[in-house]
Amino acid sequence: METQKNVHALINGEKPVLIDFFAEWCGPCKMMPPILKQIEEHFGDRILVEKVDVDKHPLTAQYYQIQGVPTLMLFKSGMILWRESGVIPAPMLIKILEEVLKSVEPAAGVNSDENQDENKMINRFF
């Protein structure tokens, strides 16, 4: 990521974004690129994967209270959906992300207009 402004734009976007907060000097962080590549291959365009160097973006790291690297955080629409520090093997990370995304993605075949109409009806009663 080039600027903190870009980081915040991605975090606030509609598409889920997995951010790897890392540092060049961090040994375990060097294990993350092949894991993140597998995440990108598995999820395709369902999720963005980005890296943020905590030494180049200290304000962002401070804002999200990054105290250890690597730290992975999943965001959508400005909300933190999931967070974990340390190296996580790709199969485990895929499983975790699938579960988290399942809870925030609309179910396949569900008409969002129908959902909105239903929510409006429910809200009238409460």
Question: Which residue of the set 19, 29, 54, 72 is catalytic?
Answer: 29
Distance CA 59, CA 116 (A): 38
Question: Which residue of the set 1, 26, 48, 90 is catalytic?
Answer: 26
Known catalytic residue: 26? yes
Known catalytic residue: 11? no
SS (H, E, C) 29-82: HHHHHHHHHHHHHHHHHHCEEEEEECCCCHHHHHHCCCCCCCEEEEEECCEEEE
Residues carrying an active site annotation: 26, 29
